[in-house]
Structure 1
Amino acid sequence: MPATAQLTGSVLEPATATPRSSPSRPRYAVLDALRFVAAAAVVAYHLTAFGSLAWGQPATEHFPTLHRFTAYGVFGVPLFFVISGFVILMSASARDVPAFVASRVGRLFPAYWVAVIATGVLLVVLWPEGKAIGTSRVLANLTMLQSAFGAGQVDGVYWTLWAELRFYVLVAVLLAVGMTAQRLYLVVYAWPALAYLCLREDFGIGATVLVAEQAPYFAGGMALYLVSRDRRALVAWGGVALNLVLAATVVGQATSASMTRHTQVRPGEMGGVLAVAICFALVALAVLTPLRRVRWAALTGLGALTYPLYLLHQYWAFWVVAHVREAVPAVVALAVAVGVSLAMAFAVHRWVERPWSPRLRRRVEAELRRAGRGPDDGHPGRGAPAAA
């Protein structure tokens, strides 16, 4: 297996053990805040613009003006993907394959398992009228591979995790063959171009493998990371531009169509293009301007709530709305639903993610190393990166 590598400027050099506070792995507090903004946008979209009947009538009837703005919250998902492209490349560049895979397993699964079980109990036992699902679907969803099985989602928001998982596989393959600068640039340019061809030619298997509908977002985030390491690298800037164009004019239109279908708000061709461009611009501002040096702990704290908030908010918030809408004004019901969602997100982060994610990561990495090279492979004296 190739040695772990990390980016320095536009080249790759062997990595040494790097603590969490290393300058090579900065903490972008504003980027953390952007993750929360993306989740909040999706929450607002679902509660005030999405076509749910939890309100007893279309949410747009309760929020006739607000929904025209919150409908654009559907673009919080592309913003997630651009951020993910940046962050995952930054993370992978300081790890080898076992460490990278373990970091992703530890990051994703503890909160996800709790969310699936909690939402499953809600929809199977407490509020079956919210969505018709069975225990078999809940069990299938625990694997996070339900999209591959065609088993259906417990919660519709889980579809994004299937895109993320396939992206992680591509990054792991890149790590396995050796993450050189030349290969990274090839990925940033060729991957979204091939993905576009698969979409255009309706090549389903290729589109699935290449994460075709999200490839320009992920690759665009990767290109922004390359720019952050070398502002003078025109080829990196070119990768940002290419992926912005592909995202805005090709896959971004699918998001616009979904927005129109579920909210009846029509962004128009230029509205969708502008929304995608804003996603790229926000990430660029967070990582390429003086904002990258902001270190406010409060922003990082908000970012920590993003994942559990995204996983849990939809049906639990709908359930709250359905039970309080007759007793209080719509705006109060909305505030209560958001408050419950945030409280649940905090609880999952505090009592699930913080204690269990590091344990799962360490266990998975140890097992992968034992299966690959033996139990001593991860000893610091052998040049393996420290867990981060």
Structure 2
Amino acid sequence: MTADFRHFYQKDWAERTALVAEQAQLSATETALFKQHYDPKHREIIENYLTDYAVPMGVAVNFVVDGTPRLVPMVTEEPSVIAAASNGAKIVKRAGGFSTSVSQREMIGQIVLEKVDDVVATTQLIMAQQTALLAVADAAHPSLQRRGGGARQLRIRRLGQGYLSIDLLVDVQAAMGANMLNSMLEAVAKSIGVLTKHNALMSILSNYATASLVRASCRLPVSLLQAGRYSGQLVAQKLVAASTVAQLDPYRATTHNKGIMNGIDAVAMATGNDWRALESGAHAYAARDGQYRGLSTWTLAGKELVGTLELPLPVGIVGGSIKINALAQLNQRLLGVTTATELAKTMAAVGLGQNLAALRALVTTGIQQGHMHLQLKSLALAAGATTAELPVVLQRLEQAPQQDLATTQQLIATLRQSKEETHD
């Protein structure tokens, strides 16, 4: 039987959950999960709301960014991410911590014109009115100017085949700025339509935020990199080689950058920022010269290892869902950041620390050794182990010839049976 989903968005929460349960043939116990994690406020945030989906939150420690200690909240379901970030930060802390810089912080939006026959004349016409068009943008969001921000620049790019992109650069202050930028773009697009007799194909912000670049770096004596039987010098050399491979090979670069974004995304989620926007911008920046490359680089300078990470991080500390997300606001306090720039700098440091820990593990013991205990813990929980049973189950699982779900379930059953026999 197929449920009737017509006008689903107009139905109340109880009707929605009943329809979904009917369609998916959910049991009463399964359906009860919707209510268990239900928050009425959140039905005002997204469409067709059913329930909340929880992701664990922890904190990374040991971070020192520009001389300031930072406690870093991270939201992630992936084991080892927080441990790796803390480990990388601990190594860098012994060398003085991370240094960061931001050259500018502006968001970029596009007004795209199509079927432009005389590109040169249209460009000249628009640029001659740049001051007036910037004023139109500011008038669309006057409160931004009062806070010290506002429209800063127009630039025009020829895309080919009769398309022009008129880029509007805006200082959005403490916000990520998507909504305010889109409002400004639509206002400017109308004025450009009157001016050029070309209607805009679209007006939309770009997530390729090349005017919001952040750089994080660290310098550490190679002696700090020693790992087991591997000398610090050897680890440093191997780490530099791994960095080189990420510059040469897109297959390796993709995984290299995924590790960096493990940390950055987790902080973005914890602070209520749009991690999808950061991901898209970061990967576009990784391919800015025509080949996809690693976002970070590691080099040797005498007896020091030097790491650098640069990427666009257009983040905010106000606006969007942040103002209605109590945990996002609390996490800003944990971080101790008071500006969007401070947040972006800290996130870049987290990405570089994450990368250091990952590469150090890769070129020495391999990543599985560090991951295994956490993976086995996840396996035990998935098999039904309680938190009280975990220590014994993990101990037995580590010694088992096979480490799969069936084996784990059998270990749990055996443990429980032995407890029952003891009580008898």
Structure number with higher strand proportion: 2
Pair in the same fold by TM > 0.5: no
Structure having greater relative contact order (Cα 8 Å, sep ≥ 6): 1
Higher helix share: 1
TM-score, normalisation: structure 2:
0.22
TM-score (norm 1): 0.23
**Which one has the largest radius of gyration?**
2
